[in-house]
Structure 1
Amino acid sequence: MTWKTPSSLKWLICKHARQQGELARLEKELAEKKEQLDQTYSGPINKVQEAIKSIEAVMRLHEMSVDPDIIAPVAPRLYEPLFKRGEITRSLYKAMSNGQWVRTDELIAAVSGLYQQDTQPKYFRYVRHQVRSRLFGLLRNGKVERKAGGSRIGKDQSETQSFWRLTPGRGI
């Protein structure tokens, strides 16, 4: 006696076989990528591990011993700083030197030469964060004054930005 495989079951069998093939392809690709990553990073990792071992050995020989296991790691910078030391502050002072209220985006443009519409959003947010952080530091020190923008709900960003100026008599 023979029986015919229902079409829905045949479809499931074919779908299962295709998914298994896709999984096998992805696993092979993953293994190749892992091998490439291992080859790329094994040398630098070994070099740093050897340097750490050397430093730990010297630390243990020092007359005032320090247990290297209690030292917390510090993450290195991934990117070079955008501005030289003091460059943001000098540019902000120059942009606000006339004593008038200046919008945040105008200060960003004066410091970096970037305009939001001409720059990648992620990079502009990063620069904006750097400039605003410095502005708030100057605000804490009493060097600048801030006039906050309006509510953000349903308004254009240009209407909600803060305005900044040098504190009369206390600036620079």
Structure 2
Amino acid sequence: MFTATALRATDKAEQYAELAEQARGLLHGEHDRIANAANLSALVYGALPELNWSGFYFFDGTELVVGPFQGKPACVRIALGKGVCGTAATERRTQVVRDVNAFPGHIACDAASRSEIVVPLFQGDTLLGVFDVDSPVPERFDDDDRAGMEQLAKIYLDSLRGDR
């Protein structure tokens, strides 16, 4: 049975390295996208401070549909190109939004969210979905978070293929 341990490091890069190690252990040997998304969402939500949402939206061939998450109820469907999640999916790059109120077309699923980071999930050229994390704190996310979240997203994608 996997047991998450508290992050010991105080430096963000070190915290993400510890979190990545925990994620690898948690997802090891499991290849189901829903199970791994649920566990990774819970791990991130419980380990990182100042979050109010952590989860996945999966692409159904037309739009992004909410998947496993931790936090308050979420928007169920997001069109490609709309909001931070839809933008990350269409631009194929991580979106770090320091102030969601300044992001054109931001979709406010939770009015308490003030900053957001969204990592697109691609297997080759195929859009799988996005990994989305919100915070009630303005300017919560920076380039260290981008690198850390992208690493966690890679661990997730690798788990689906069984790559370790």
- TM-score (ref. length: structure 2): 0.28
Structure with the larger RCO, 1 or 2 (CA within 8 Å, 6+ apart): 2
Greater per-residue helix proportion: 1
Greater per-residue strand proportion: 2
- TM-score (ref. length: structure 1): 0.27
